[in-house]
Amino acid sequence: MAACSTPNVKGDSGTAEKVQKYETFLNDRLKSDLKKALERRDAIYEEISEYTKLATMIETIKASKHAFEDGILRTKTDLGCNFFCEAEVEDPRMICLGVGYGIYVQLTLDEALEFIKKKTPLLEM
């Protein structure tokens, strides 16, 4: 059996320089690009998750007609760190929805669901 050995290459130091150059490129450029791409992906996944939660909440509001008393929706809202307070929504038939670039649009619950159904597949592309 013959032992494996690296071939005798002229200019072995030139090869080592090329390898060092590629390693530097990989570490300096490609890893930072990968980190940025993963951060963008995570932000998109977070946005999709928020739209999905909103769609679920809208469906819950539409299904629970008993939650409406005198046209007011009474609920509890999370202030952060699992601290809740009671809240009243005067007109639960309309919501303000962020559509992007800091623009918010007042929509009916059905219009908001339609928007979410169209927006989510675009984000998944």
Mean pLDDT by 10 residues, the chain (125 residues): 50 80 87 93 94 92 71 84 90 86 93 95 89
- Rounded to an integer, what distance in angstroms lies between the CA atom of residue 125 and that of residue 120? 9
Backbone φ, ψ for residue 56 (5° rounding): -65, -40
Q: How much is the pLDDT for 116? A: 95
DSSP E strand stretches across the chain: 68-69, 72-80, 83-89, 94-100, 103-108
| Distance of alpha carbon 73 from alpha carbon 71, whole angstroms | 7
The pLDDT value given to residue 75: 82
Residue 66: its pLDDT value, please? 62
| Residue 106 near residue 94 (C-beta atoms within 8 A) | yes
Q: What's the pLDDT score for residue 68? A: 62
- The model's pTM is 0.70
